[in-house]
Amino acid sequence: MEQIKGFVLSLMAAAAVSAVVELFLPDGGGMKKYMRYFMSLAILLTLLSPLKSLVSAIPDLADIDIDAFAELYDDTEAMARANSIVAMHIKNAVCQRFGLETGNVSIVLNETGVSMRVKKKLGLFESDLSEYVKNQFGVLAEVVLYE
């Protein structure tokens, strides 16, 4: 709170000094234009003064141990979670598009693409499913229909 109070007081002082200096400047001539420029720079510097403490704290932030964060969260675990979420969205979209029940569709997302196992339905072709997944999600799909 004390820092904010000091900042506001210094801003008010810079504005007051600027106003007083401008009052004593003569109306004619180019001196008034340059003094306004310098006074606006002084007020701008006063406004930016809190950033000085922020910039001085940057080297302290660089001392953070990144390896400590890496130990907290495993990359393979994160990738497996992300893949399962994407697979769930693909499964829901396929079920909605082709009128399938979610229990009749299983999807696994891996590095090479999507592996799908779908219970056979009249008029449903593997090529339709793989083409839909490719067009909608940009992923190659290996589809197996089972009974």
67 falls within a domain: no
Using the 3D structure, point to which of 61, 83, 108 is the last residue of a domain.
61
**127 and 76 co-located in one domain:** yes
Task: Say yes or no: 76 and 54 in one domain.
Answer: no
For residue 84, the enclosing domain spans 72-146
In a domain, 22, yes or no: yes
Q: Supply the CATH number for residue 125's domain.
A: 3.30.300.30
Could you tell me if residue 139 is inside a domain? Answer: yes
Mark out the alpha helices in the chain (DSSP H runs). Answer: 2-24, 31-56, 58-61, 66-72, 75-98, 126-137
Enter the tokens of residue 103. Answer: 């229990």
Q: What's the pLDDT tens digit per position in 7-28?
A: 888 889 988 988 888 888 887 7
What percent of the chain is predicted at pLDDT more than 70? 87
pTM of the model: 0.49
In a domain? residue 10: yes
pLDDT in tens, 72-100: 666 777 778 888 888 888 889 889 988 88
The answer to whether position 66 is within a domain reads no
Do 83 and 126 fall within a single domain?
yes
| Cβ-contact 46, 10 below 8 angstroms | yes
- DSSP letter for 27, please: S
| pLDDT value of residue 120 | 87
pLDDT of the residue at 56:
75
Q: What is the Cα–Cα distance from 18 to 9, expressed in whole angstroms?
A: 14
